[in-house]
Amino acid sequence: MAHHKLLPRQYLILTLVAVSAPLGDTCLSRGMTRVPPIALAHPASLIAAVLTPWIAVGIALLLGFFASYLTALSWADLTFVLPATAFGNVIVALLSRFWLHEAISLERWAGIVLITLGVGFVARGPSLTERPAKEILEIEERAIAAAALGDWPEPTLPVDRELPR
């Protein structure tokens, strides 16, 4: 299986995936400590919480995470992108400990170290699963047939993939 070399902008997207979710979650946590408990049965309290500054920033960061996550999934496999989010556990632990002043047990630190080691193993693999040309042709033919029936929009292949003739 060939390894795909990532472009600098792709590393930037993966960094945004890894950093924006833990920052967003931490901002949400900080904001929720400053509002009274909320319940879904009282939508006004939920709306009021969303409008507080820390929670609004947290939501914006999580929207940024979602956009960068979708972008990464457009050019890499889920099994490559998802571990980038796992590194967020380290960031959350550090922010929780030193910014939110939460106590973190030795067991949790050990779990974070194990997750980080696992991410290292996954990151060494390919970013995109290579498919045989025959499989790509079959997928393209099914998509064209579905489009002819009006079930799907006109299919296109990614620019970096060419079909054998």
Q: Which residues contact 49 (CB under 8 A, 6 or more apart)?
A: 31, 32, 35, 38, 55
For the segment 14-35, what is each residue's pLDDT rounded down to a tens digit? 999 999 999 999 999 999 999 9
Tell me the domain boundaries of the chain.
8-123, 131-165
Closest CA to 17 of 78, 66, 79: 66
pTM for the whole structure: 0.70
What confidence score (pLDDT) does residue 136 get? 60
Closest CA to 154 of 162, 163, 144: 144
For the segment 92-110, what is each residue's pLDDT rounded down to a tens digit? 999 999 999 999 999 999 9
**CA 29 to CA 23: how far, in whole Å?**
10
